[in-house]
Each structure stands twice: as structure tokens, then as C-alpha cells.
Amino acid sequence: MSLPISYYLLLGAALFTIGVIGVLVRRNMLVLLMSIELILNASNLTFIAFSKYRGDLNGHLFSFFSIAVAAAEAAVGLAIVIHIFRHFRSTNVDEVTTIQG
């Protein structure tokens, strides 16, 4: 027994909404990175759901590249957050106004 595609799309929409709310409401850089990852995972879920629905592998291919980009984004983003924390002693977005050499 297979679940209908609407279940996957509703779950993806819920994850996307939670991620967008996290980006808009929270001011901690680590929470912002996690919210962006949640948004990317929601898009991956919809890619895979439509790929299953259509019976082709294009959604899997897009999802694979999206996961690779998300891993690179997480590594670079975490390095930037660590640098900012060492320099400003805070990860609050509002407290970090300028980043100078």
C-alpha cells in the first residue's frame, strides 16, 4: 500500500513553512543555518515525491545535487559562524553589524 502524493507534499509544505518561520523569527546564526537546511530538505522531499509520482529519476538527480550543495553550504556557513563567534563572541545576527578583515 502506497501513500498518496498529497501526504508527501503536505509534509514538505509543513517543513518549508517551519523553515521560513525559523529564518524570519530567530536571530541566532546556527538556528538560521538549521532553518535553511530544513527548507532545502523540504524541497528535496517534494522533488522525490514528484519523481515517484511521474516514475522517472529526474527528481532523484535534482535531490542529489541539492544535498551536495546543502553539505557545502553547511560547511562554509559553519566556518563563517565560528569565525564570527571568535571575533565578536556572539552568534546573534543583530549584534554583528560589520565584518571587517
Domains of the chain: 27-101 (1.10.287.3510)
8 — pLDDT class (breaks 50, 70, 90): very high
Residue 83 has pLDDT above 90, yes or no: no
Mean pLDDT of the chain: 89
Instruction: Render pLDDT for 20-38 as a digit per residue (tens, 0 to 9).
Output: 999 999 888 899 999 999 9
Contact 23, 35 (CB under 8 A): yes
Give CA torsion, residues 62, 37, 25, 6, to 10 deg: 50
Spatial contact of 42 and 12, defined as CB atoms under 8 Å apart: yes
pLDDT band at 98 (very low <50, low <70, confident <90, very high): low
Supply φ then ψ for residue 92, to 5 degrees: -80, 130
Q: Give the pLDDT confidence of 84-94 residue by residue, as tens digits.
A: 888 888 888 77
- What pLDDT is attached to residue 51? 93
The predicted-structure confidence for 57-70, as pLDDT tens digits, reads as follows 988 999 999 999 99
